[in-house]
Structure formats: C-alpha cells, structure tokens
C-alpha cells in the first residue's frame, strides 16, 4: 500500500470499512487525482450527481477491457466477455438507449404488484425456517437466497437452478475491480458453466410464451447461436445484478437492526417508518460503491479541470454521506431527507430495478422484525470487492441461547 | 518450467529485476536495454491490462501469488523491487 497516497483504490480497508477513507478524501481533496488509479476520484454528492447527469461523461465498457486482456494474455474469455457485454450500465449512446428499452420493457411487463405476493411468500417461508433455530447466518440463510429466488422468478429460471447458479456466479462482479489473471481464468470457467445451465432453459422457455426467458430471447440481438448466447448473458445479468445488490440491502438492514436496537423499536412502534429505513440503508450502505466514467469533453469540476479522455471514479458511497448534503450523514434519519442520494445512480443510468429493490427491502424488513431478537455470534464478513459492497456472512444467535445449543440445534 | 524462485518462494533481486525487465520489454515490444528501471511505467507506455498480464507471467515464473495492482501502486521497476523486498519476496 502506498502510504503517501491520500486514497489507495486497492486498499483492503475499503472492503469492510471504507467510510473513514471516504470522509478524509472528501474533506481534504474532493476532486482528487489518483496516480495509481490514473483517474479522478470524486466524493462530493453535488459533483457526483452532476456527472451522473452529464452525457459528456460516458460509462466504461469492461467487456472491452477483458477482451483486450484475453487477446494480450492468449486466453479465451468468451463467456465472461459475453456476460459483460450484457451489462446495461457499461453501455453508452444509441446502444445504451436500445438496450435500456429492452431491459425496461422486460422488467415492466409484469406489474410490481404481481411480484409482491411472490416475494412475501418466499420471505415468509425463509423467515419461518429461521424462527425455529437458535442460531443461523443472517446473510447466507436469508439476505442472500431471498433476492436470488425472487430474481429467478422474475427472469423465469426454475428455483432448482438457484443454488448452483449462486455458486457459479458468486464472484463475477469482482471483475468490476482489477484482478490477477488466475482470477479471470477461474471466474471465466465458472461463467461458462452458468451459461451451460441457463442456455437450455432459454431454449425450453421459448416454447412457453409466458416465460420471462421467452421475452428475454425475443428481445435479444442476432440470430441462431449468437441470439441464444446474448439472451443467456442477459438473463444471467438481470438475475445476478438484481439479486446481488438486493442481497447487499437486506444484509445491511439485518445488520442495522442488530447494531442499532433502537431502530428495531422504532420500526415496530411505527411500521410506516419501514420504507424510510430501507431508503436510509440504501443511502448509507449502497451495494454499488463505485461507478467509472470517461470524460469526453474538457470540464471544470469543483475548480479542477478534467480533460477529455481522462477517467473519473465516482464514489457513490462517499457522496451519499456528504455532510454538505445530509445532516448527521452517518445516522439513520427517521424523517425524509431533503436531498436526493445516488444509491441507485442517476441520470440516464438510474437503476431500473430500484422499485423492486425497495419492495424487497420493505417485505424482508417486516419479516426480520417478526424474528426472535438475535445477537451477533461471530465476525461479520464483507464481499472482497471494492465496487460492490455487501455482507457475505453475519452469524447470529437468538438472545438467551448459547453456542452449544446452536451446535445441537 | 523450472521456477527461478527458491523453494521457499523467495528470489534474489537480480532474478526478479531481470524478469520484470524482460517481461515489460516483451509486452511493450521494445528492447530490454530500453527499459529504464527508474522511469515511470506510464511513460514507458504500460496500460492497466498490460500490468495484469505482466504480473500474471511473473507469478507463474516465480510460482508465487502477487497483487495485480502491484504495477499500478508502484510506478517504477525500482519501486516495485523495493515493495517486493518489504513483503519478503526478494531476500
């Protein structure tokens, strides 16, 4: 680690607790040139919001980076590249407009009110299972599986595929950060296996016009094999990104109830606060901490000149705790904030799944509040990415039980 | 391939330095003599995918694991060598 740098974008400290680093950076150099990252790093809400809304700052397509890596390193990363090509938020210009229409059309074809009972049924069944246990892992046994099953329903994948796909796609979003070749090799091999699971489902789903997979296939570009490949990548993208970000939300909600018992009391006393608590956890612990842009025209931002061709790293997680925009920025406010946050991004790339995520958050929170009170029973563990923030482990035990009872349960 | 590293995963400074110079020259398409160890890697024309490749090849050659950001955090070969001394790879 470079001790002389104000911001080390690769630091391990950013995994579990990035907020002190963000705070220092925002206070000392809010429009910061990072030499090791070869990019501007932005931390103020107003600057980040302005760039999200500015079409002269284009998204960076990671599929091109991985293609280049494959070519230079003599590797075949076709499955991973296909997956990354389907990532809507890496797209720009006309291609983005077309793909966004495709994704929005797919997600909006079923009214959210029709998905609500499905989420409720899944959440209730999972919570009921936890209620009978002395100890469990709040992420592995609830926050992680719930949105993966919800998204499988949305996409049209059978529930029986969910555990295997969760494993195969567990670290694909690590490719949003920089990785060693051995990691690209490993992740690419797993993505290939995920394609092998999903492609036959699409082929079968085409027969049933009701299936989500049918609609994904119909809207995919190309013909024959390439159309099937694009549809497979899109199905995996929608499933994975929708589920992983909501896993982050549900994990942070559970953790917040654990470390702030007053929040639990407030929500039980006034259930109308629940949507607000969901919003605040999205702001405080957003699953997407970073978004990259490349500047296409020379711009002034916060008194600094960003030249055309330079890259800009937007630290969404820092912007969302900017004290200039949010009073007591590190606290959960129980009345609406005046300022909009950037938890779901902004501008033309604003998250298409925002309403679904909020709904899942609210329903999951209701179920969490019905569970017997728990205390932490081991170390919380975060996903090893710097772009995606989510808990991967949160062991808990029911208050009043001991470790030995848990083992015996 | 025989690893130029010792069985305990460490290597001499000369071994590692020669490896970096050779692999950087290789990926940049220049003569090893043109790789100045004190020169900023950006100025040599190394981009971020190049750094991942070079670190990957050096890992394979030495039979050890290195952070892919090694060549992004440390800007010259001399700095990289110094960092590898600090983490005990170069002894």
Counting Cα atoms < 13 Å in the Cβ hemisphere of A239 gives 32
For residue A34, give the chain B residue with the closest CA: B73
B27 touches chain A (CB under 8 A): yes
Global pTM reads: 0.93
Which residues from chain A sit within 8 angstroms of residue B53, using beta carbons? 69, 72-73, 181
Distance CA(B52)–CA(A302), nearest Å, equals 33
Q: Which residues of A touch B82 (CB under 8 A)?
A: none
Phi/psi of residue A33, nearest 5 degrees: -90, 115
The DSSP code for A282 is H
A2: chain B residues, CB-CB within 8 Å: 73-74
Calculate helix-pair angle for B13-28, B77-86, nearest 10 degrees.
Answer: 140
Tokens 């702001």 belong to: A283
Q: Is the pLDDT of residue B1 over 80?
A: no
Chain A residues in contact with B69 by the CB 8 A cut-off are 10, 36, 178
Interface predicted TM-score (ipTM) of this complex, two decimals? 0.84
Which of A36, A72, A179 minimises the CB distance to B72? A36
| Cα maximum dimension of chain B | 35
Half-sphere exposure of B23 (CA within 13 A, CB side): 23
Cβ–Cβ gap B48/A1 under 8 Å: no
Tokens of B1: 């391939």
Is residue B52 within 8 A of residue B12, CB to CB? The reply is no
Task: Fill in the DSSP letter of residue B90.
Answer: B
Give per-residue pLDDT as tens, B38-91.
998 888 888 889 999 999 999 988 888 888 888 888 889 999 999 999 988 888
- Quickly state the pLDDT bin for A4 (edges 50, 70, 90): low
DSSP A373: P
3-state secondary structure A123-152: HHHHHHHHHCCCEEECHHHHHCHHHHHHHH
> Do A182 and B59 count as a contact with CB atoms less than 8 A apart?
yes
Residue A2, min C-alpha distance to chain B (Å): 7
pLDDT at A2: 42
**Cβ–Cβ contact A309 with B under 8 A:** no
Angstrom distance (rounded) from CA A31 to CA A145: 38
pLDDT of residue A114: 94
pLDDT in tens, B2-31: 678 787 778 899 999 999 999 999 999 999
Contact across the interface for A178 and B48, Cβ inside 8 Å: yes
Q: How many CB pairs below 8 A link A and B?
A: 56
Is the CB of residue A13 less than 8 Å away from at least one CB of chain B? no
């Amino acid at each position: 680690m470079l001790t002389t740098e104000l911001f080390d974008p690769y630091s391990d400290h950013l995994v579990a607790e990035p907020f002190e680093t963000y705070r220092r950076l925002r206070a000392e150099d809010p429009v910061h040139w990072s030499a090791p990252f070869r990019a501007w790093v932005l931390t103020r809400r107003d600057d980040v919001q302005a760039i999200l809304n500015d079409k002269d700052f284009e998204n960076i397509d990671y599929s091109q980076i991985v293609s280049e890596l494959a070519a230079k390193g003599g590797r075949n990363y076709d499955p991973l590249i296909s997956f990354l090509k389907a990532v809507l938020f890496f797209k720009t210009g006309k291609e983005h407009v077309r793909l966004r229409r495709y994704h929005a059309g797919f997600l909006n074809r079923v009214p959210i009110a029709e998905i609500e009972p499905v989420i409720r049924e899944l959440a209730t069944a999972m919570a009921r299972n936890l209620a009978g246990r002395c100890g469990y892992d709040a992420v592995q046994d609830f926050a992680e599986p719930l949105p993966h099953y919800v998204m499988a329903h949305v996409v049209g994948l059978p529930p029986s595929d969910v555990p295997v796909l969760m494993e195969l796609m567990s670290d694909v979003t690590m490719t949003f950060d920089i990785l060693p070749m051995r990691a690209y090799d490993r992740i690419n091999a797993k993505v290939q296996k995920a394609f092998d699971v999903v492609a036959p489902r699409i082929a079968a789903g085409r027969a049933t016009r009701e299936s989500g997979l049918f609609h994904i296939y119909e809207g995919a570009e190309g013909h024959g094999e390439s159309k099937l490949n694009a549809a497979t990548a899109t199905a995996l993208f929608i499933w994975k990104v929708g589920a992983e970000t909501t896993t982050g939300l549900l994990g942070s909600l559970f953790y917040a109830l654990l470390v702030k018992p007053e929040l639990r009391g407030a929500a039980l006393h006034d259930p109308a606060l629940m949507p607000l608590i969901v919003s605040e956890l999205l702001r405080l612990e957003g699953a997407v901490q970073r978004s990259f842009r490349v500047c296409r025209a020379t711009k002034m931002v916060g008194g600094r000149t960003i030249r055309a061709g330079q890259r800009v790293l937007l630290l969404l997680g820092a912007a969302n705790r900017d004290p200039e925009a949010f009073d007591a920025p590190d606290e959960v406010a129980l009345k609406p904030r005046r300022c909009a946050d950037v938890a779901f991004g902004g501008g033309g790339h604003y998250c298409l799944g925002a309403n679904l995520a909020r709904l899942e958050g609210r329903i999951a929170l209701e179920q969490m509040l019905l569970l017997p009170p728990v205390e932490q029973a081991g170390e919380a563990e975060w996903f090893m990415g710097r772009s995606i923030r989510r808990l991967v482990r949160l062991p808990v035990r029911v208050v009043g039980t001991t470790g030995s009872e848990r083992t015996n349960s | 391939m025989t690893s130029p590293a010792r069985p305990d995963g460490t290597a001499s400074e000369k071994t590692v330095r020669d490896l970096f110079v050779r692999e950087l020259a290789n990926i940049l398409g220049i003569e090893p003599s043109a790789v100045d160890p004190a020169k900023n890697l950006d100025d040599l024309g190394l981009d971020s995918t190049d750094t991942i490749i070079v670190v990957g090849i050096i890992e394979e050659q030495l039979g050890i694991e290195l952070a892919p950001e090694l060549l992004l955090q440390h800007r010259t070969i001399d700095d990289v060598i110094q960092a590898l001394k600090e983490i005990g790879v170069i002894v």
